[in-house]
Amino acid sequence: MTGLLKKLFLKHAAALFLPLKMFILSLNPYYGGESASITPLEDLYKRFKIPGAPPASMGRGRDWNVDLIPKFLMANGQLVKMLLFTEVTRYLDFKVTEGSFVYKGGKIYKVPSTEAEALASSLMGLFEKRRFRKFLVYVANFDENDPRTFEGVDPKKTSMREVYKKFDLGQDVIDFTGHALALYRTDDYLDQPCCETINRIKLYSESLARYGKSPYLYPLYGLGELPQGFARLSAIYGGTYMLNKPIEEIIMQNGKVIGVKSEGEIARCKQLICDPSYVKDRVEKVGQVIRVICILSHPIKNTNDANSCQIIIPQNQVNRKSDIYVCMISSAHNVAAQGKYIAIASTTVETKEPEKEIRPWLSEKGNYQIFISRTYDATTHFETTCDDIKDIYKRMMGSEFDFEEMKRKKNDIYGED
């Protein structure tokens, strides 16, 4: 990197990383921890104790990058904003996913991405389409800072259930709106103030407007590229990233973390960020997710032969409390051999027989200065993960993460662009 390019890069990225001097350890031999992309395919077989070697029909092992916890990025979502602001995007290439689908009455339907698709969709009847269109127009015009757009709705008090009733929307439309557009995992949101739900639907629409096919993006070569990109950015600021380092002990002094011991050496620190697997004595299990990785020789049926897509199975459609999520990617994303597809289904475990639960698709605590992330949930998008990132930032820095404030700090230091 030339001196000029490095100067420009530092100018745009410094505001976010200015407070942090990073020393990153991972006990894994790969980037990404729980959300790594496993390559080659032989390593995936070893990880899940599948006997023998992959058959020749699977192609070259190096052609595979299989996500352990697949998620798509909302095109106008929080993670994309973080990647653009820090310019980690210079290390990444993305591709738009080809569609978003929802399960209803035993069939898969495309979530309409244009007004024409909405009018042609068999997801709703004729009169329902008209009512739904009025609802979407209301959502598009809604501004929580402008009471003129409320139309009798109090965004801080009126429940989402009441808003649906106002537009006379039926249960099937409510299901796909709440779960495929607002991306809720359960129906708990229905009796909460409607403001957040409306803003979630606006985010979906804004993300969809960026590229047209769907609101979702996915990085070529898999999600493992994301931590690698941030590792490269960290290195510019003197950060060190070490793989395959066993963590022997978290060193505490006077109730505060002061370092991490690995192979007899101590890396000193004032603050520590880690996932729950490193501090099992400081966390409690509050839930469990089951994921099923399926390698296919064809696209998922009834998805218009899409080479990538998301399918959401709303809880009410399969008599559950939580949705089932399916994401599919393929060789078009450099994650599988030519002609192969990877479909991964996931859901929150509700019974003692999680394998049966997934079948509908198949047929921080204390002031120790240790900041523990949440584990990944069942969703196939990064919005909840970004909320966790911002929560860690607030706990570490004592203030909310604010893009506009970060921009102001950058301009104070380096001047306007």
For 98-136, write each residue's pLDDT tens digit: 999 999 888 899 987 666 777 788 888 888 899 998 999
Tokens for 239, please give them. 């950060």
Q: Is the pLDDT of residue 59 over 80?
A: yes
Can you tell me whether residue 290 is helix, strand or coil? strand
For residues 58 and 340, the answer to whether their CB atoms sit within 8 Å is yes
**Tens-digit pLDDT profile for residues 154-171:** 999 999 999 999 999 999
Looking at residues 131-152, what average pLDDT do you find? Answer: 94
Q: Across residues 329-350, what is the average pLDDT?
A: 95
Interatomic CA distance for residues 94 and 379, integer angstroms = 19
Q: Which residue has the tokens 């979702």?
A: 216
pLDDT value, residue 159:
98
**Closest C-alpha among 305, 276, 339 to residue 108:** 305
Would you state the pLDDT for residue 369? 56
pLDDT value for 221: 96
Question: Can you give the pLDDT at residue 410?
Answer: 64
* Predicted pLDDT of residue 290: 92
Lowest mean pLDDT among 12-16, 38-42, 243-247, 321-325: 12-16
* pLDDT tens figures, 250-300: 999 999 999 999 999 998 999 998 888 888 888 898 999 999 999 999 999
Is residue 188 classed as helix, strand or coil in its secondary structure?
helix
Q: What is the DSSP letter of 303?
A: S
Which residue in 223, 177, 212 sits closest to 99, CA to CA? 212
Q: Supply the DSSP symbol for 152.
A: T
Q: At what angle do helices 225-236 and 3-17 cross, to 10 degrees?
A: 110
Amino acid at 272: L
Q: CA neighbours within 13 Å on the CB side: how many for 234?
A: 16
Q: How confident is the model at residue 11 (pLDDT cuts 50, 70, 90)?
A: very low
Calpha distance 84→385 (Å, rounded): 17
| DSSP per-residue string spanning 90-144 | GG--EEE-S-EEEEETTEEEEPP-SHHHHHH-TTS-HHHHHHHHHHHHHHHH--T
Question: pTM above 0.85?
Answer: no
Task: Answer yes or no: is pLDDT of 416 > 90.
Answer: no
Assess contact for 349 and 286: CB atoms under 8 A: no
pLDDT at 415: 58
Output the pLDDT for position 148: 95
Both structure tokens of 8: 């420009």
pLDDT (tens digit, 9 = 90+) per residue, 182-191?
999 999 999 9
Give me the mean pLDDT over the 334-344 stretch.
Answer: 95
Helix runs in 154-262, H state only: 160-166, 171-176, 195-211, 225-236
Does the pLDDT value for residue 367 go beyond 50? no
Q: Is the pLDDT of residue 87 over 80?
A: yes
For residue 1, pLDDT beyond 70: no
Q: Is the pLDDT of residue 368 over 60?
A: no
The mean pLDDT of 314-326, rounded to a whole number, is: 91
- Amino acid (one-letter) located at 358: I
Q: Residue 289: is it exposed, middle or buried by C-beta count within 10 angstroms (0-12/13-18/19+)?
A: middle
Alpha-carbon distance of 200 to 77, in angstroms, equals 10
Return the pLDDT at 32: 85
pLDDT tens sequence across 185-229: 999 999 999 999 999 999 999 999 988 788 999 999 999 999 999
Rounded CA-CA distance 34/52 in Å is 24
pLDDT of residue 411 exceeding 80 = no
Q: Is the pLDDT confidence value at 351 over 90?
A: yes
Percentage, residues of the chain above pLDDT 70: 88
pLDDT score recorded for residue 412: 54
Contact yes or no for 335/342 (Cβ under 8 A): yes
Least confident range of 49-58, 110-119, 126-135, 356-365: 356-365
